[in-house]
């Protein structure tokens, strides 16, 4: 049986790890500094994290340069795979990060506007290195919509249909960021996560809403009411030492969820 993965996420702004809620905080200055990304990466590696995700949340040209430097520093200190996203608009952006040491790159807004970007990255680096970051929102009408530009623009596209198209174009994994739940610690959106997981043939990483181990049990469960995700991504609960990765894995193991124990 394949094990489920636990993935800490670091939102990087100006070379520091930051945290907000429900997207769009960088533009409004509503971010909390939570530490040095290199030191946090080392901490999570020691705790037994399966992977690590870095997002450049402002994604200017200068930020991508800073991010490549941070990636290079981190890969010298850790042994787990590293995914980097934010501001990847062309293959050269992805190349810069892969060359710095990232194992995977995550594309989001640019992939919606120019879907062939997924094909181009997959052709150069392989499907396993090509990740779709999908920012989604449950609307008042109850449908699941794709958003871009840091969650500011509603594309009108259906989440499940876009996920299926991205996989057809070469995405080897989907990180489903549910905006309504981001940073709220009220639990993952199980219905949306399950809908995407059942629709595609590649791993789905649930993101947005982790407040404790039970939320991860729920989203990783393959039962009829579970999220059926292959991995759970979290930030705040790890950054603020509410739980360690090892704590979560012990709880998951006790609940019968297969995980890699340290």
How many other C-beta atoms can be found within 10 angstroms of the C-beta atom of residue 198?
Answer: 10
Residue among 171, 262, 187 nearest 232 (CA): 187
**Integer CA distances (angstroms), 248 to 8, 45, 163, 190, 243, in order:** 11, 14, 28, 18, 7
Catalytic residue list contains 135: yes
Choose, from 135, 189, 218, 230, the residue flagged as catalytic. 135
Catalytic residue list contains 92: no
Size of the chain in residues: 262
Burial group, residue 120, by CB count within 10 angstroms (0-12, 13-18, 19+): middle
Distance CA(20)–CA(132), nearest Å, equals 22
Q: Supply the DSSP string of 145-190, one letter for each residue.
A: EEEETTTTEEEEEEHHHHHHHHHHHT--EEEEEEGGGTTT-S---H
Burial group, residue 24, by CB count within 10 angstroms (0-12, 13-18, 19+): middle
Distance CA(83)–CA(247), nearest Å, equals 23
**Integer CA distances (angstroms), 36 to 11, 13, 59, 133, 196, in order:** 11, 11, 18, 23, 33
71 in Cβ contact with 54 (< 8 Å): yes
Catalytic positions, please?
11, 135
């Amino acid at each position: 049986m394949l094990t489920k993965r636990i993935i800490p996420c670091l939102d990087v702004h100006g070379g520091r790890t930051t945290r907000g809620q429900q997207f769009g905080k960088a533009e409004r200055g509503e971010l909390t500094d939570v530490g040095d990304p290199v030191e946090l990466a080392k901490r999570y590696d020691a705790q037994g994290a399966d992977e690590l995700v870095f997002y450049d949340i402002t994604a200017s040209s200068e930020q991508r340069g800073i991010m490549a430097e941070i990636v290079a520093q981190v890969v010298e200190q850790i042994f787990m795979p590293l995914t980097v996203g934010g501001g990847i608009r062309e293959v050269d952006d992805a190349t810069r990060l892969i060359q710095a040491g990232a194992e995977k790159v995550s594309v989001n807004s640019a992939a919606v506007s120019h879907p062939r970007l997924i094909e181009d990255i997959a052709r150069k680096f392989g499907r396993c290195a090509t990740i779709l970051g999908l920012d989604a929102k449950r609307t008042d009408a109850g449908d699941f919509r794709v958003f871009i530009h840091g969650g500011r623009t509603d594309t009108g596209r259906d989440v499940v249909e876009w996920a299926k198209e991205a996989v057809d174009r070469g995405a080897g994994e989907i990180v489903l960021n549910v905006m309504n739940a981001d940073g709220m610690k009220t639990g993952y959106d199980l219905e949306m996560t399950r809908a995407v997981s059942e629709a595609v043939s590649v791993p789905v990483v649930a993101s947005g809403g982790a407040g404790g181990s039970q939320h991860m049990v729920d989203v990783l469960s393959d039962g009829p009411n579970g999220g059926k995700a292959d991995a759970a991504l979290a930030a705040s609960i790890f950054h603020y030492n509410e739980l360690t990765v090892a704590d979560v894995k012990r709880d998951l193991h006790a609940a019968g969820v297969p995980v890699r124990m340290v």
